[in-house]
Amino acid sequence: PRLSEHILEGFASQVPTVSVSTYGRSDHFDTVSNDETHGANLIVDHLVDLGHERIAHIDAGLAAGGPERRSAFIDAMMRYGLAPIVAEGDFNDDAGLAATSQLMSLRTPPTAIFAGNDLAATGVLTHLKNIGASVPDDVSVVGYDDTLLAGIGPVSLTPVHQPRQQLGRLAMELLLERIAGRTEARHELIEPRLVIRSTTGRVRA
């Protein structure tokens, strides 16, 4: 998903090509992607319903899905008339920990943090534990992907579930169609869902 459309079109001129986790509009290859905009909106809607207004997002720079999640978060916050807070990060626990340290040092820290993925969310949870902050009583935390890590009992993270098996299955179906002779491009977006566990709760009065 990090490859440019130009490079992917070069591949597609030689072999049937489907790119997973990229959403494009090229006429030369197919794409299958998680709907990052829908996922970010699910998170913001959930947190606002719980009364949160100071919501921060730890982004992942140019990593796959990162720019889309960040942009959708900002748009969703503005839709509610709320000021988006964005901290630079990456898709790993060290980045999540460092970004949370910065966020919790703000004069008015956030009451909810949307981490770019589940690994970054573990860094968020680690820093909050280190400073004695309760999750979700003091700060709610949301991840993204719903990996096996998120569902482990002691973690019990609220994430957006990215339908990885569905993405892979659809990509294979498109590839077989390409091999069979289909020439028109298809670009598919799959809607994720929110899995509510124990790291999100109502904001304190």
Would you give the distance in Å from CA 99 to the centre of its chain? 16
Tokens of 81: 């008339």
The type of residue at 181 is G
Strand 30-34, strand 158-161: pairing: unpaired
pTM of the full structure: 0.93
List the one residue out of 110, 135, 117, 120 whose CA is nearest residue 197: 135
Separation CA 43–CA 159 (nearest Å): 8
How many beta carbons lie within 10 A of that of residue 37, not counting itself?
Answer: 18
Separation CA 186–CA 26 (nearest Å): 9
Largest Cα–Cα distance of the chain, in whole Å?
A: 61
Q: What is the pLDDT of residues 24-62, one digit of tens each?
A: 889 999 999 999 999 999 999 999 999 999 999 999 987
Q: What is the pLDDT of residues 160-184, one digit of tens each?
A: 999 999 999 999 999 999 999 999 9
